[in-house]
Amino acid sequence: MLSQIRISNYKSIITNVLFCLFPLTSIIGNLFINLNIIFLFTATFFFYAGELKNFKLNLFDKIITFFFIYIFFTLSLNYFEYFLDNKDFPFEIIKKSFLYLRYYFLYIALRILMHHNILELKWFYISASFFVIFTCVNIFFQYFFLVDMLGNLPVTSRRLSGFFGDELIAGGYIQRFSLFAIFLTFILNFKKKFNTYLITFIIIFIFMFGIILSGNKMPLVLFLFSLFLFFLLNIGSRKKILLVFIFTLISLPLIYKLNDNFKDDVLSFYKTTKSLINVFYFKSHTLEESINFNKTPYVLEFYAAHLTWKKNIFFGGGVKSFRFNCPNCNIHPHNYYLEFFVDLGLFGFSIIGIFLFYIFYKIYKIKHIFYSSSILGQKTLTFFIIFFIEFFPFRSTGSFFSTNNASFIFLVLALLVSLIAKSDNKRIN
């Protein structure tokens, strides 16, 4: 009996350590993210093979499964079309489609681990909090000493990347993982409520400054938006969170006055947003004018995505096909929804739409959990806000099918679906 408990603990520790490495591997790079994914789902299926028979797919899981089946359907359809036209089908699309299966295995592995209460989410919160705060500290170090702790020099004087080197994505990393640290202060449940809100305010300030120094404008907007959702949806603690939220907003004008780079970034973001609205809504000048004279960023990508989608409206061109169907364009359309249309067509977009609708429906049905300060409610709210921000339609994004984005998205989806199922069972019971 004792040996069985030890074996069980040994398995649990390994899977949880691999799970908690995601915030670190997201910093180190794609190779380590992929190794982490492979090790985690391999360990899960090896250690818990006996539990597979007790795990049943719910409607969320079936939609995700159908989504991956559809990827191979549209791949086959496009391959057959190229074959009939006597053209060589890009091998890259075939390779990316098959390799993309690793995220399905990741999703199922996490669902199994959550279903059997094997994952320690608090460990993940602590891991994410440590690495995202450490990332901010490193950016501050780079700002003051013009070199980060690993010896990386700033790519530009206006944008700091810290551990990410030549990739200017530090702000996006901070925005994604910051909520885990913010919610951790509530989950740890300090004896003195004053300590909770003081610590929360301090770490919000750390994250906000880290994103500002990174020069990533959209992550800052999304970070502030996530704080607003945190205040809006955390009904049980809304009055207490309001003070922290107000102080955060008050600090922004002060930062705007004191930091010239931040001022320039705000003005640049405002001009870009205004130009996009003028082009696509008010039609102040044509798309062709904007593209030819480079008047507005992202117009070329959005317009090219529209034209590429029209080539295969219903089924799309396949995973990461945008670069092949639009050779002179960027490698992706800089928006998840446009990428769904281009790569997976109207039917693929519909699958995503059904999944999103069902998520919001289930959250609406279990909204009672947000009225309390229960740990389950706080965890569900964390992943729902992260999910909502990630799929917010009016934002620029990387590619949905890239390693960094896909690993984070399917990790969040698996945990959110599991927490919704637990919250739903609690409501029923």
How many of the other CB atoms lie within 10 Å of CB of 121? 20
pLDDT recorded at residue 130 = 96
Residue 228 or 97, more confident: 97
Q: Work out the percent of the chain whose per-residue pLDDT is above 70.
A: 79
Give the span between the Cα atoms of 178 and 2, in whole angstroms. Answer: 40
> What b/e string do you get for 64-93 counting C-beta neighbours within 10 Å, with b at 16 or more?
beebbebbeebbebbbeeeeeeeeebbeeb
In which band, very low, low, confident or very high, does the pLDDT at 220 lie, cut at 50, 70 and 90?
confident
Q: Are 214 and 159 in contact (CB under 8 A)?
A: yes
- The answer, yes or no, to whether residue 291 has pLDDT greater than 70, is no
Of 307, 306, 324, 303, the closest CA to residue 78 belongs to 324
pLDDT recorded at residue 131 = 97
In which band, very low, low, confident or very high, does the pLDDT at 91 lie, cut at 50, 70 and 90?
very high
Query: What would the mean pLDDT of 257-275 be, rounded to a whole number?
Result: 65
pLDDT recorded at residue 241 = 63
- Give the mean pLDDT of the chain: 84
pLDDT digits over 303-345, tens only? 778 778 888 899 999 999 888 887 667 777 888 999 999 999 9
Residue 287 tokens read as: 């798309």
The domain locations on the chain are: 59-119+298-429, 120-258
In which band, very low, low, confident or very high, does the pLDDT at 287 lie, cut at 50, 70 and 90?
low
Residue 256 or 338, more confident: 338
- The answer, yes or no, to whether residue 255 has pLDDT greater than 80, is no
- The answer, yes or no, to whether residue 231 has pLDDT greater than 80, is no
pLDDT digits over 43-53, tens only? 999 999 887 77
Least confident of 13-27, 203-217, 362-376, 388-402: 362-376
Task: Name residue, tokens 């089946």.
Answer: 69
pLDDT recorded at residue 392 = 92
* CA 24 to each of CA 21, 131, 390, 411: distance values in angstroms, whole numbers, following the listed order: 5, 7, 19, 14
Q: Are 389 and 225 in contact (CB under 8 A)?
A: yes
Query: What would the mean pLDDT of 288-311 be, rounded to a whole number?
Result: 67
Torsion, Cα 346 348 349 352, to 10 degrees, reads 160
State the burial class of residue 420 (Cβ atoms within 10 Å of its Cβ: 0-12, 13-18, 19+): buried
Least confident of 12-16, 217-221, 313-317, 409-413: 217-221
- The answer, yes or no, to whether residue 7 has pLDDT greater than 70, is no
Q: Could you tell me how far CA 61 lies from the centroid of its own chain?
A: 19
- The answer, yes or no, to whether residue 95 has pLDDT greater than 90, is yes
Strand ranges (DSSP E) for 81-176?
none
Give the span between the Cα atoms of 310 and 319, in whole angstroms. Answer: 16
State the amino acid at position 233 in one-letter form: L
DSSP letter at 278 equals: I
- The answer, yes or no, to whether residue 257 has pLDDT greater than 70, is no
- The answer, yes or no, to whether residue 242 has pLDDT greater than 90, is no
Give the span between the Cα atoms of 154 and 165, in whole angstroms. Answer: 8
pLDDT recorded at residue 72 = 96
pLDDT recorded at residue 293 = 44
In which band, very low, low, confident or very high, does the pLDDT at 5 lie, cut at 50, 70 and 90?
very low
Q: Which residues contact 42 (CB under 8 A, 6 or more apart)?
A: none
Residue 271 or 104, more confident: 104
State the burial class of residue 250 (Cβ atoms within 10 Å of its Cβ: 0-12, 13-18, 19+): exposed
Greatest mean pLDDT among 126-140, 183-197, 323-337 = 126-140
Q: How far apart are the first and last CA of the chain?
A: 32
pLDDT digits over 347-368, tens only? 999 999 999 999 999 998 887 7
State the burial class of residue 216 (Cβ atoms within 10 Å of its Cβ: 0-12, 13-18, 19+): buried
Of 24, 294, 304, the closest CA to residue 163 belongs to 24
